[in-house]
Structure 1
Amino acid sequence: MTNKPQQQVKANKTPYSLQRRLLLNTSIVLVFFIVAMSFVLLDSYKTGIRQATFERLYAQFYSLLSYADELEPGDLFLPEEIPSDKRFNQYNSGLSALVYDETESLIWKSLSARYDQEQHKVPLPLSLPGEGTLAEITMDDTDYFRFHYIAEWESPEGAISLYHFVILENKRPFDQVISAYRNQLWFWLSIMALSLLAILFVVMRWTLRPIRRAVKELRQIEKGLLSTLSDQYPQELQRLTENINRFIQNERHQSKRYKETLGNLAHSLKTPLAVMNTALQNKSNDAEELSSICSEQIGRMDQIVAYQLQRATSGPQVMMRSMEVEPALDKLATSLTKVYQDKNISIEVDVSKGLMIALNEGDFYEVFGNVLDNACKWTESKVRVKAQRVAGKVQITVEDNGPGIPENVRLAILSRGKRLDETVEGQGIGMSVVTEIVAAYNGEIDIDSSELGGALMRLSF
């Protein structure tokens, strides 16, 4: 009971549109990029400011060194006031200097230094003489930059003394600059991100416009307002729209084929039904002969139904499996003789010995059943069928001694629904089916005048 509502909720959940997906994904990527870029820019700015601080304090060290003088080894003199930068002479100015001897004992400090050496001893790093270092330290809850340099001093007697020069600068101005830069950076990056999102929204709307147009056209096709999608689409969508159009055309063609197949089925069943009807009306036929005729024609009808169903679903089947021509033509001739026995028609069949044709059996009976039926329908008394191999092709000719077919309508009768004489029974279907099947096998149909005086139909495969 509990699973069904959950499944229904999942089924009713509307999936995100492409535009929403792109905007969401782009926003995530953009936010990640903005955050990463802000950290990179901030770190680069901090590094630049720190390097500038190091160089400035290095210069301050050299100014102090210029005022220093060694009275004797281990006894370095510096004036109480340093003229180069007045901040050294102002108490708690934020910039102070200290000098230690090689035993790390304080021997001088500037007037600005407010440190109690006993309570707040400045930690000295391990470094080599002649190597300046910059570090951040915290003293008395205040952060400082500490510049440290070990200077070697050689007396006239050649004695070398080491002195630790330390310059401390309050880190608060540095932090204030970084904070102001960070605020400005986030402000402008946020504006940039919002602007980029707005531009991306406009660009995606324009980029996805062909897809929206395709959806609109599909809805119009569903309503019957359009027949196919237009061909004015970007290159990336052309293959898709062409396939959709092809699918629509195939569906319509399939629907048309179903309708035509019903007509073809009715048309094909006429001959076996006529044979059985003639046999039933012929009182000279005994029960055994009547049963044989009906059994044969019912089997033929079953084949016709199976064949037409196959054509309805898959079209003409071009099966390159050869069949023998003579027995098939003899069977057709026998059936049609019974159908048109009241006309006392003579059907002459002349087939080259052992002639084979590469046609599906159902297609063969459909084609030549229609052609022979038309010949019997229009002939006065005689139909002649000749099958032979000519120049590598199987050529089957059907002639009659009827009125013939005028030259100006020979092409027209091959179209569906076209009939030569509206007074003669028929639906105008048979020859269109013949044309379709022959075309599927890349065959040819020629209509001419017969030596017998009527029409001549020549089919080549």
Structure 2
Amino acid sequence: MISIRSKLSLWLSGLVVIATIVAIIFFESMLRQAFHDSIIARLQEDLQQVMMATEIDGNTFRIDQSQLSHFYKPVYSGRYYQLDLPEQKLRSRSLWDQRLNVKDLDKGETRAWQTKGPQNHDIQLLSIGLKSETSGLNATLTVAQDLSIGRKIFSEVYGTKLIVNLAMLMSMIMGIFIVLRQSFKPVNQMKDTLARLREGEITSIDLNSIPLELQPLASNYNELLQYSSKQIERSRNNLGNLSHGLKTPLAVMQQQVEVLGLSDPQTAAALQKQLDSVHNLIERKLAAARITGEMLPAAQMQLPKDINDLVQTLTRVHRTKTINSELAIAPDINRLPMHREDGMELLGNLLDNAFKWANSEIHIMVFYHQQQLLLTIEDDGPGVATEQLAQLTRRGKRLDEATMGHGLGLSIVKDIAEQYNITLQFEHSAKLSGLKVTLNFSG
């Protein structure tokens, strides 16, 4: 999906381009009209000048050349006049051997038009009808101007204006991108702050470093973090209180079992086994509560720190065994894409199972394979029978049911894996000959 900054850049750039095109077209139209009006105004002045130089003597018209501008003398100068009479045509010297095709007009009637003139150039013409009051003789006076020079100037002015407008357009587009880039810097800073929060480097968002528009959002996020932290702390305390509260009844039951062992050793042994299971479960939950209490509610699992913490905790829980744990993590992997609390619960269960059944070796690997993030846990324990491996991935199936007291609630692992779209795979370990669990975080 296109980002807000890109969308704004495209929209604003498009509006600027459209506005510039409209302005260029409007300017070209105004400039062309101004050029045309200036030509007509010039021809009207020329027409008045030629009319003033025109003398009517009886039945004849005569133009006094001394009263006219010198522009009419050079051949093809670009300024022309022509007086059309019924029997003759009086022309400026600048027309040389050319004639203007003029339509006869009545007295006072005017006409403006364009046509081809000398040297096949476009010319603008303006005519007016004249009439002698004494003889009643009609005539049509026409003045003309070559448009090629004016059009050249028009093209130069318009071309310069077009270049300036295009340069301004590019500057405005660049300015839009620069302004939006600077304006969205706080959003990128917010993104970096959230990344640091996720990595566990900070515990809350500093509102002083957040723009005013984003401060309400950051404040609400901080409140949510505080609420989640309190909920986690409350859950940890409740779990700790429950575990500690069970120790006294268990101690009493332990004494009763020892007394019962004097009279009924078989029953006492069975009860002792169950008491040991409850005691181990309490120890594991207390260890998990200690780990959870140090977590940030928005943080993801950090590698290798969090896995090392789990291994150290489980080593203390299973202190009766000597387990060598090897952890191998690819250099470019520093976190797992899941909430740290859920990750601790998921990996804690899997590692606790590995510690329980391993003889002396546990291998943990985190790496990329074919652009997929994988995590494997292998142990050198007895493993799981081949016919039971397929049952482990069934929904609702518990690993302890499938492997006769394995001690891990597979349903908890499955629920967390499904929440994060993690694929679980159980197989025999080729290296250690025990159980190998593979987590595919790419789904």
Q: TM-score with structure 1 length normalisation?
A: 0.47
Q: TM-score with structure 2 length normalisation?
A: 0.49
If you compute each CA radius of gyration, which structure gives the higher value, 1 or 2?
1
